[in-house]
Chains A and B, each alone.
Chain A
Amino acid sequence: MVKLTFRSNEWEVKPGMTVESALKKLDIDPEAVLPTIKDTLITTDYILKEGDVVKLVAVVSGGVNEM
């Protein structure tokens, strides 16, 4: 199986599908996350392999931008 994590959430999906398909299946907006494996960015056409652990990094985070 393939593990996906996002903040404190964790899911498992079957290998063989693309990251994009996995995100769609989990109802996660691809625009809102960046997928990484072992701290390296991957694109959403990457085909997931058995044992992959994909960490989804939130695009929106804190900040104190005001003008």
Chain B
Amino acid sequence: MKAQEKILEKIHRIAAEIGKDVNIMEVCGTHTQAVSRYGIRSVMPKNVHLLTGPGCPVCVTAQEDIDAIVSLALAGIPIATYGDMLRVPGYFGSLEQAKRKGAQVFTVYSTEDALELQKKHPEVVFFGLGFETTTPMTAYAVQKGLSVYSTHKLFIPAMHALLNMGEVRIDGFLDPGHVSAVIGTDAYKGLEASQVITGFNGDDILVAIYMLLLQISEKRKDIENEYKRAVKKEGNPTAYKVIFEVFEVADGNWRGFGIIPGSGLEVCKKYGKFDAKKKYKHILDKIDFSVSKKATGCKCDRVIRGLIMPDQCPMFGKACTPEKPYGPCMVSVEGGCNVHYRYRKQ
């Protein structure tokens, strides 16, 4: 208790010294959850604003990819997916809805479960979603013969895109702790912002915010590490290497950002026969993806970019709730809209 009160005092003091408004953006869905879960916003100084960025892999999955995987499921191909993606609605419905229509959709906790599933369902396709923390697990499984539809993405290019778009002034980033555990600390060089690599407890977040405010106050743009217990300077070279043994860098299609060059990961030629996009090209080519671009009124893309708070979307809490989600930001437990809805009483 005492340590937390002390750090809050320090945070308030530095914020008062800074005086003007400070925008700190967290870019990891697990941080979005943690910030609300620990009631961090309610104890922040009035001039410190915690923004939510595009750190929820579910939320940034392009509509086309959702429509593609649901189409594959409806075409009779067994699909294995992390639970996060089950309820995300696409134009043809969600994977859960496809399951109700008779599609074979399996929820797995790890790619090892997917490999186990493959023994019973040899044609199973794993819906690969996630950033650098999660991609090594998919790469490992592809090397063992699992087919994958990849929507895996690299995170740093999106951070650059955010800064370059300049729509919101970002004074500092709370960098994603577990992505950093894989990519290391130097990966963030070149980003024009103050940064602190942050862990996921309330204590971690408070200490990181304090370190970041000091940087902002002293006009430094350093890369500091609060999550030292899990993040080494060199990251995890084994995990990082396996990503690029199986995947190659391509353009990434992000909800809210469109195409971000060099941010996508596609299965490389060596493992081409496990690439569901190639294997099922004949099914995917027949899909009319123009429907994926149809405006649904969902403002998830603006929430992801930190342009609006979820409650500024006209559908928030009315047509769009966690029970009846319109878009992925409301489906995902880490989505900005879902978190905002669940913790709105704070």
Task: Indicate whether A and B interact.
Answer: no
Q: B residues within 8 Å of A by Cβ?
A: none
Q: A residues within 8 Å of B by Cβ?
A: none
